[in-house]
Amino acid sequence: MCSAGIDARPVPAQATAGGGAAPGVALPSAAVSLPQSLAGPLRDGDPVRRGVVPAVIGRTEGGRVLLDLRSVRPDDDETLAAAVVEAAGDARPPAG
């Protein structure tokens, strides 16, 4: 995604077991850290509303949005990358 001009960084993360069903149990994971400005476009930007890409929900931490990869199947990596690229384009102000 860096080649697309997006400030994307791999970061270590901690996932929660069972979506919170096991309080205090953390699982080591990895995440993609993106500018917080992409949180809205990833969730409900124009490309999502048009059905071009699926909605992506991350968590905000330290002024960045984290997309935890523990819940992303390897065969969905390209779909996730496309959603991020589309969100970044949707987050840019219109040219002109």
pLDDT in tens, 2-43: 556 899 999 999 887 765 667 778 889 999 999 999 999 999
**Distance (Å, rounded) from C-alpha 71 to C-alpha 15?**
9
82 within domain boundaries: yes
When pLDDT is averaged across residues 34-53 and rounded to a whole number, the result is 95
Asked if residues 31 and 67 have their Cβ atoms less than 8 Å apart, the reply is yes
95 pLDDT more than 70: no
pTM as predicted:
0.82
pLDDT at 92: 64
- Reply yes or no on whether the pLDDT at 86 is more than 80: yes
Q: Which domain holds residue 80?
A: 2-12+26-91
> To which H or E segment does residue 46 belong?
helix 46-49
Domain contains 19: no
Question: Mean pLDDT across the stretch 37-54?
Answer: 95
How many domains does the chain contain in total? 1
